Amino acid sequence: MDKFMNIMNKKLAPIAKAFDTNRYLDAIKNGFYGVMPFLILGSFLLIFSNLPIGGYPEFMASVFGEKWDRVFTIPYEATMSIMTLYVIMGAAKSLANYYKINTLNASISAVVAFVIATPFLSESEGATGIPTSAMGASGLFLGIIISILSVEILRFIEGKNLTIKMPASVPANISSSFTSLIPSFFVILVFTIVRLVFENTSFETVQNFIYSILQEPLTNIGSSLPAMIIINLFACLLWAFGIHGTVIIGAIMDPIWLSLTAGNAAAYASGDVIPNIINTEFQSNFVQLGGAGCTLGLVLCMVFVAKSKQYKTLGRLSVAPSFFNINEPVIFGTPIILNPIMLIPFVLSTLVALLVTYFAMDIGLVPLTNGVNLPWTIPPIISGFLLSGWKGSVLQVFTTILTTIIWYPFFKMSDSKAYSLESIQEGME
């Protein structure tokens, strides 16, 4: 077993390192991290415009007027509905910072490039505008691609010294503006040509091309049960060797899962049928109860049935963080890392939580998550209620009981061994 673990560690570590150190994935990840507070706040307000309480809409309308819900839907529309713009700015800034070029110009250039690639709407009265649908979830992949390409263009042009150099006496902010002038021109030129080229194809727009060729197929794959099983297995294996599997997988899957969350939020806001079982909240609030590996069940075993001082102490220290889905104390303290015995329930609990949640939602026992982008640290039961009502809370309790049962026999083996060693040590003293 030790030989097997060593071989797996040698195979997985380079792969994980390649993902973790990839500048493009890192830029995308930072782009999402930067915008996340606003997406959480904007989507969370949807709860108050759609509380499942009989007579609630009528009461609010009688007190605040027919458009009472606008106080909640306006922040949603200003955040979730145009989230691609914010992700573009964050991703471009992160990548520009990696290259040590002007981050402000990179962010603005990426947004300008995205707007150029987005066809305007025109009405018969002469009004024009940019469709918010293109700046929401459906434009997410295009926005990510454009943010990366625009920064690469800036870097390439600046690397060729095709910039305007100002005398040292010119103030730095003015000099920086002129330095960015020619690189920014090439960004505008390139994406204007791209737009004009696509206008003469059957796709008509870059958005249509990226969505149909890339985003839609990847979203369909990423929202499938087989893909979720493979993704979670890989994340668990990474964790088993001390690599933060959640972060590695999140850098790849977050754009897909977040677009599915946004689809649910849009349906929830408009009162339509919620379409997606799998999304960000499905993964973080139902599949990872207590953190990766559903270690809340392990912590409950430590708290209630441990005999050894080692695990009693670890359980008391870990119980509060685990309820907030923080499980590094358990993973490193048990330890689960490089521990073949504990790896089995770590993987098995994840798969059971995944399958139970998926089929409970698929057959209609539990409502699909409503698209509210909750922080992953919201404790179980509370998060379940906010996302899927009381049935969501019941599902989390049921899954926690199941995963605790899975953890129990493996924990008892480790606990008995630790207890025996402690007894021997005490006898020798």
Give the per-residue pLDDT at 135.
82
What range does the domain containing 83 cover?
23-212
Select from 184, 212, 240 the last residue of a domain: 212
- Regarding whether 368 and 231 lie in a shared domain, the answer is yes
Residues 196, 301 within the same domain: no
End-to-end Cα separation, the chain, in angstroms: 34
Pair 192, 235 in one domain: no
Chain-centre distance for alpha carbon 90:
15
183, amino acid identity:
P
| Whether 233 and 207 share a structural domain | no
Let me know if residue 372 belongs to a domain.
Answer: yes
- Does any domain span residue 172? yes
Please spell the DSSP secondary structure of 185-245, one letter per residue.
Answer: HHHHHHHHHHHHHHHTSTT-SHHHHHIIIIIHHHHHHHTSHHHHHHHHHHHHHHHHTT--H
Show contacts of 191-196: CB within 8 Å, 24+ apart. Answer: 191/113, 191/116, 191/117, 191/146, 191/150, 192/116, 194/117, 195/116, 195/117, 195/119
pLDDT-flagged residues of the chain (< 70): 1-20, 52, 54, 124, 126, 168-171, 426-429
Asked if 167 and 315 sit in the same domain, the reply is: no
Query: What confidence score (pLDDT) does residue 160 get?
Result: 84
Last residue of a domain, one of 212, 235, 254: 212
Domain count, the chain: 2
Identify whether residues 198 and 283 lie together within a single domain. Answer: no
Would 11 be classed as within a structural domain? no
- Let me know if residue 103 belongs to a domain: yes
- Does the residue 249 lie in any domain? yes
- pLDDT value at residue 398: 96
Residues 307 and 355 in one domain: yes
Say what percent of the chain tops pLDDT 90.
30
Same domain flag for 371 and 316: yes
Tell me, yes or no, whether 181 lies in a domain: yes
> Are 124 and 67 a contacting pair, CB within 8 Å?
no
pLDDT at residue 42, rounded to an integer: 81
In a domain, 10, yes or no: no
| 18 domain-assigned | no
Measured at the CA of 271, the angle between CA 266 and CA 275, to 5 degrees, comes to: 55
Q: Name the residue type at position 16.
A: A
* Distances in whole angstroms, Cα of residue 6 to Cα of each of 169, 293, 332, 335, 339: 60, 21, 18, 16, 11
- Whether residue 205 is found in the same domain as residue 275: no
Q: Angle at the Cα of 309 (from 306 to 314), degrees rounded to 5?
A: 75
- Asked if residue 422 and residue 393 are part of one domain, the reply reads yes
Q: Measuring CA to CA, which residue among 352, 354, 335 is closest to residue 343? A: 335
Indicate the residue type of 345.
P
236, 241, 233, 240: which is closest to 13 by C-alpha?
A: 241
Does an H or E element contain 64, and which? Answer: helix 56-64
The pLDDT assigned to 124 comes to: 66
Same domain flag for 92 and 237 = no
Looking at the fold, whether 299 and 352 belong to one and the same domain comes out as yes
Runs of H (alpha helix) within 81-212: 83-99, 103-116, 132-135, 140-159, 172-179, 181-199, 206-210
Token representation of residue 248? 């590695």
pLDDT of res. 7:
59
The last residue of one of the domains, among 212, 244, 275, is 212
Whether residue 85 contacts residue 51, with contact meaning beta carbons closer than 8 Å, is answered with: no
Identify whether the C-beta of residue 254 lies closer than 8 Å to the C-beta of residue 32: yes
Q: Please give the model's pTM, rounded to 2 decimal places.
A: 0.77
